[in-house]
Every structure is written in C-alpha cells, then in structure tokens.
Amino acid sequence: MSHPSNLNHQANWIGYLGVSNDEYSTHLGQHDIKIAWHKTTKDVKEIPDIMDLQRPARDYNMSSRDPTINIEAGLLKIYTRKHDQCNVCKLSAREHVLNKVKRLINCYSYEELSITIEGHSLGGGLAMISAYDNIKIGLACEDGCVIPLWVFSFSGPRVGKIRFKQRLERLEVKGLRVVNKHDFEVQTRLIQKLGDYFWSYWHVGEEIILDHKISPSLKEMHNLTYITYLEVSRERKRIFDSKARGHKFGEKRN
C-alpha cells in the first residue's frame, strides 16, 4: 500500500486495512479482514485529553445510545476528526475504516469472515475504539451470522471506564492487551482498584503484563517507530540499487 501523493500537513498516515489472500484464507478457514493502527506523532497536543478526560462516545456521532459509555476524549478526537481543507481528510479515520470494512464484507458476503484489529501504543487505544465501533454498527454476513472480531493491543492505554469494558464483553469482542508494566502509557491511567468512578479506566479482555527488568528476552525501548524508519531506508536503497542496475522496480513485497 502506498501513501497518497496529495498528503499535506493536516494529514497523517495512521494505519492499514486489508484482507487475507486466498492461500492464507484457506489455511485460516475464512477470510480475515485486518485493521492495523499505529501511533501518530502529529497529535501530541491531544495527550492531555488522552491522559485525563473522558467523553460519551455518542457525543462524537458514534453508534451508542448509552450515555455512560465514556472514552478518552483525545482518542475520540483523533478517531473522528476531519478537515474540509484537506483532500484526504474530508473523511475521518473512523469513516475511512467503516466504509472499507463494509465494502469488504459485501465483497465476501457469502464466505466465512473474521475481523482482526490490532494496534501499538496510541494505536492500541484506537484499536479498542475501532473494535467497539465496528461491532456496534451491526456487521454481519449476508446470511445474518455475526462476524467474529478480535482485538490486540500492544503497549496501548486503557481507553474507557467500566461501562465501556462491560459493553464490549456483552458484544463478545475477544480482546488481548499486552503491556510492559514500565511503559509510559500504562502508568498514565488510573488503575481499576479505584473502582467505578467517572475518571477510572479499565482494560478490556485478557491482559498480559510483561516486565523487561526481569526478562532477558524483552527490550526496554517502547518506541517501535524506528522499525518503520529502517524499512523506509531499506526500501529506498533497494529502489536506488535497482535503477542503477537498469532493472525495473515494481515487484510486490511480502
């Protein structure tokens, strides 16, 4: 997947969406729609809201009639914000994802389907919100069966209060949250022993807590963005080498 050529300072590449090919789908026994969110460095101004404020999901035009479903305001802004002055931002990240998912469901309406949503860091919080949003709009196959949905959050924050957690559990969303106990995102949330107060945050699904200080297999560094930079650098070098040798560069990478 390539970046649009008309990105500007208001746009930020924050995720990918695709579907498993026929070979891998045969292995899985179904076509899997994958949504991957990563963190963004453009929205640092939203960090105070992410840390402290919760707002009802329905205030952001999300399909929730329950006023007690509260989610971090900063994440909701990132998920639902749009800019009319930007060609690629006239639709919000939410609208882009929901439109694409609906199109893929229609395309594979008579086949077995599943949806997997995953995210790292801030993207882990967006993955949880996206899972709630996708399941709330009533995604279903042509024959009426419910599409199973899994969500994986890596080093991501808790994103909502206990009503948000309970609602996802009632909707049978399967979640796994993997965290390093020393990560900044983990330490900035009020822990659930505070109880059902309006400002408390709860994790969704199963939680695996890792500690890099006692494990020889874990690295302390939290920021995985450098991997993207390494990949881009390697890709550019490969393009240069290919052109220098007079070869055509256009092969598809795995």
Domain ranges of the chain: 15-219, 224-254
More confident residue, 6 or 72: 72
Residue type, 225: T
Q: How far apart are CA 66 and CA 132, in angstroms?
A: 13
Q: For residue 240, what pLDDT band results from cuts at 50, 70 and 90?
A: very low
Q: What is the pTM of this model?
A: 0.74
Question: What pLDDT sits at residue 32?
Answer: 93
Active site residues: 121, 183, 222
Question: What pLDDT sits at residue 243?
Answer: 42
Question: What pLDDT sits at residue 51?
Answer: 54
pLDDT at 226 over 90: no
Helix axes of 73-80 and 122-136: crossing angle, nearest 10 degrees: 70
Structure tokens at 63: 């399909």
Question: What pLDDT sits at residue 112?
Answer: 87
Question: What pLDDT sits at residue 201?
Answer: 77
User: What does the pLDDT look like over 97-127, one tens digit per residue?
Assistant: 989 998 998 888 888 889 999 998 889 989 9
Rounded mean pLDDT, 75-86: 81
Among 45-54, 183-192, 245-254, which is the least confidently predicted range?
245-254
User: What does the pLDDT look like over 161-182, one tens digit per residue?
Assistant: 888 888 888 888 889 988 887 7
CATH number of 15-219: 3.40.50.1820
Cβ–Cβ contacts within 10 Å for residue 83, how many?
13
Greatest CA separation found in the chain? Answer: 65
pLDDT at 152 over 90: yes
Most confident of the following: 49-53, 64-68, 150-154: 150-154
pLDDT at 133 over 50: yes
Rounded mean pLDDT, 207-232: 66
Q: How far apart are CA 36 and CA 21, in angstroms?
A: 16
Looking at the chain, the whole-number percentage of residues with pLDDT higher than 70 is 63
pLDDT at 47 over 50: yes
pLDDT at 18 over 70: yes
More confident residue, 181 or 227: 181
Structure tokens at 230: 């390494």
